[in-house]
A and B are shown apart, each in its own frame.
Chain A
Amino acid sequence: MNHLITLPIMLPLLLATLQLLPVIEKSIERQRLISVLGSLSIVIASVALLISASAGNVTLYALGNWEAPFGIQLVGDRLSSMMVVLTSILLLAANLYASAGDDNQGRYFYPLMMFQAMGINGAFLTGDIFNLFVFFEILLIASYSLLIHGGGKHKTSAAVHYVFLNLVGSAIFLFALGIIYGTLGTLNMADMALRVRELNESEVQLAKIGGMMLLSVFALKAALLPLQFWLPRTYASAPGPVVALFAIMTKVGIYSIIRIQSLIFGDSAGALTDLGQDWIWVLALGTLIIATLGVISAPSVKRLAAHLVILSVGTLLVAVGFGTAESLSAALFYAVHSTLAGAAFFLIGDIIAEQRERSFDRIVAGRSLAQPMSIGILFFVAALTLIGMPPLSGFIGKFLIMKSIDSGSALVWAWPLLLIGSLAALVAFSRAGSTLFWRSNGKPDSSKASATRKFIAVGILLSAAPLMSLFAGPITQYTDATVEQLQSFELNPRQIMAKGVQQ
């Protein structure tokens, strides 16, 4: 059996426990070294998985050698390995950024980051829906602690909402799993896809309820319209490096929606085909509208970044809700772009907040930044790509999504909203940029300059913007092949059921 697939989960777990040892826990320098090198090793492991997946291999791993559907299995296909690589790059950048000083405001910063990465990677790799719940809880409990890391009034009050909301979400998740297990008699996603085709009339109703409850939980994680109100405040109050890693959290929800929709409620699901698809479409359009309003009205850079995350969720789910192969492929491209660019912009907001004295990252005239030139360049690049201007990745992502939505009535709804969203982002960025960089007083105070590694961390994330447009060809080929693979899983779910080792 190929054990490579366990590394993105096991490495963070081992690194986290390693850093709890007194020898390392006592010295912040050792922790920094281990976590940056450790996240580098996670990047290498996940890239190795990606290389194996991009050749078309699907890595199946039966944990404890219990064959599916009885045991829990890990599935390393194109989609999950792509998301795992994305997570580990974010983790590396976030840890590098934090090692410049943000890690010192409370204890156990790096172990928590590692546990969070473990939960996220696990959620992407698992092929068992109850195991998905368990990994959700791991990433959530780590995120609860990271959110209030360092303490402070704002963090606590934002965390109260976030924690209670997610605890209710977990309860609904469990109710949904109970219903699904009661009707389908299995928790393995591939097996669920097979069982869903053989349901009788009365069971279909129950399965429908279970499926819709499951979707609403994922919508809460993804921050879809009526369930997105927690996001701006939570993300704006969290520490910078933490929120950079949080940028992938909404994508965990979207990933789960894509996984469930394409595999279990796909074209062969009989009465349950495309369950909730029309809801996703309508709510995603609504999300676009409310995020557009949020982007225009954002009072601070981090709030702006948070509303841009919601905007990207809306854009992504519009493509997912449209539901063609082209739109899904475009959504995957956009997911990679928006995660990296969003995380980079949060970090930029954090640097700005650090360098301005009392006005923090609020978009008001204030003391001039210590390094206006370098921050300005980063801000400009992030703005270009997040608005969706050529030649950076945001443009290509948005263009692909709009191109894939080509039929009459859908086009009339989606195109204007997507374009107005971009316009709103343009307005907000121009306002924020001109206020922050031009309407400032006082000379740059070089004693407040930020550490170089912070800029390197932002640079790593932002370099994706030009690179993704340079290599847009290979990347879209990859996402096209991903969608093709998802469709083939849907046709024959048995191919992602692990057999265990043949004796």
Chain B
Amino acid sequence: MELLISLIIGLLTAVGVFLVLRGRTFPIVLGLTVLSYAVNLFIFSAGRLVMDGAAVLNSGLATPDPVPQALVLTAIVIGFAMTAFAVILAIRARADLGNDHVDGRLPEQSGEQK
């Protein structure tokens, strides 16, 4: 369980970082989304993983820590709003600057077609 979760978080983070480092806005927005998935899973697991835990206190079973769950909810809401803003900004930049490169102009020697 721990191994699976940590592998997933690691993979998502790696994918997110790779995409964020790309030169165009669309992969970056995707990368930020993937990165926020990784973050959410990571915070969720910060309260330690409990298998077959009880959702209700005082039921005799081990209960997972509720605080990270509350934190994740907050982080999801904020991440959602920020992603929406980033998408709109990317579209606006595409319209204002005429291309979707983060610097607002295409690199000169990349051999890419406009």
Contacts and interface: CB of A to CB of B under 8 A. Distances in A.
Interface in A123-169: 130, 134, 137, 141, 144-145, 148, 151-153, 156-157, 159-161, 163-164, 167-168
Contacts of A181: 43, 46-47, 67-68, 71
A170 interface: yes
A179 interface: yes
Contacts of A148: 89, 92
A175 interface: yes
B14 interface: no
Interface in A168-195: 168, 170-171, 174-175, 177-179, 181-182, 187
A144 B93 CA distance: 13
B53 interface: no
A interface, over-half SS: helix
B72 to A, nearest CB: 9
Contact of A134 (B32, B42, B46, B78): B78
Contacts of A179: 46
Interface in B15-74: 16, 20, 25, 28, 32, 35-36, 38-39, 42-43, 45-48, 67-68, 71, 74
A168 B89 CA distance: 16
Given A159-B89, A160-B93, A181-B67, A174 B102 contact: no
Given A144-B89, A164-B86, A177-B71, A157 B104 contact: yes
Contact of A137 (B82, B92, B97): B82
Most interface-central of A130, A159, A167 (chain B CB within 10 A): A167
B102 to A, nearest CB: 6
Contacts of A134: 74, 78
A171 B104 contact: no
Given A153-B96, A157-B103, A178 B43 contact: yes
B43 A160 contact: no
B81 interface: yes
A134 B36 CA distance: 15
* Nearest 4 CB-CB pairings of A with B: A157-B104, A182-B46, A178-B46, A178-B43
